């Protein structure tokens, strides 16, 4: 996993921005913010509501912010 | 094909089961994804 | 908080049933299960997606399973 992800999981996510998530940079972060997913915990919530299903979550990410395969993986 | 957006969450959930599409609860943040998957399955 | 809630938070929620949540008994639990919220973590996901807004979450609970004020509070 990337250093970014290591940093992220090293402490409680609290109110961290969505851009603190590995794979989510400036461009994807903006798109997610525009759709109401400003905080990392809201994206976590979406993952849980998708029943932690990786395939559904990847598809949702792609539809919502255009994340490519690598970014989805991160 | 009748537009899915007019259907209730329950109807969407039943359609997803009918088409064998795995899914979680139909809520505001997931409905669009499931409608898209249903549209793909129906076309 | 109730003993039920103390038990719940005493360990990771893992795959616990939605009925393990304080305030959610047999009747409300069944209704939530019918709508796809079989596990406690899915309900947590919905709370996070609602940005941890208690007002919105209470309203959602009431609409989704008819939880009354006390049950919502629990």
What are φ and ψ of residue C53, in 5° steps? Answer: -85, 110
Report the distance separating Cα A21 and Cα A8, nearest Å: 7
User: What's the per-residue H, E or C state across chain A?
Assistant: CCHHHHHHHCCCCCCCEHHHCCCCCHHHHHHHHHCCCCEHHHHHHHHHHCCCCHHHHHHHHHHHHCCCHHHHHC
Segment-wise mean pLDDT, segments of 10 residues, chain C, 74 residues: 81 87 88 94 94 93 84 74
- Provide, as residue numbers in chain C, all residues whose Cβ is less than 8 Å from the Cβ of B25: 35-37, 42, 46
ipTM field: 0.88
pLDDT digits (tens, 9 = 90+) for B20-37: 999 999 999 999 999 999
Task: List, as ranges, residues 1-20 from B with C-beta within 8 Å of A.
Answer: none
* Candidates B9, B13, B25; nearest CB to C42: B25
Nearest-Cα residue of chain B relative to residue C36:
B25
Interface of C with A in 13-72 (CB under 8 A): 39, 41-42, 44-52
Write out the two tokens for A30: 């903006």
Q: The tokens of C72 are what?
A: 């919502």
Residue whose token pair is 């490519």: A68
Segment A36-55, tens digit of pLDDT: 999 999 999 999 999 999 99
Model confidence, pTM? 0.88
Per this entry, what is the length of chain A?
74
Residue A74's contacts (CB-CB under 8 Å, 6 or more residues apart) are A2, A4, A5, A21, A22, A23, A24
Please calculate the CA angle B22-B29-A68 and round it to the nearest 5 degrees: 75
Q: What span, in angstroms and rounded, lies between the C-alpha atoms of C4 and C10? A: 10
How far apart CA C55 and CA C71 sit, in angstroms, is 14
Q: How far is CA B6 from the centre of its chain?
A: 11
């Amino acid at each position: 996993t990337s250093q970014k992800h290591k940093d992220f999981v090293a402490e409680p996510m609290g109110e961290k921005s969505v851009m603190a998530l590995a794979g989510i940079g400036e461009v994807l972060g903006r798109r997610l913010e525009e759709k109401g997913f400003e905080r990392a915990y809201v994206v976590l919530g979406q993952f849980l509501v998708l029943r932690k299903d990786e395939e559904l979550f990847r598809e949702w990410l792609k539809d919502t912010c255009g994340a490519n395969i690598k970014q989805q993986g991160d | 094909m009748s537009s899915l957006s007019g259907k209730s969450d329950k109807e969407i959930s039943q359609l997803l089961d009918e088409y064998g599409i795995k899914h979680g609860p139909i809520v505001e943040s997931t409905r669009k994804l499931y409608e898209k998957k249903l549209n793909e399955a129906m076309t």
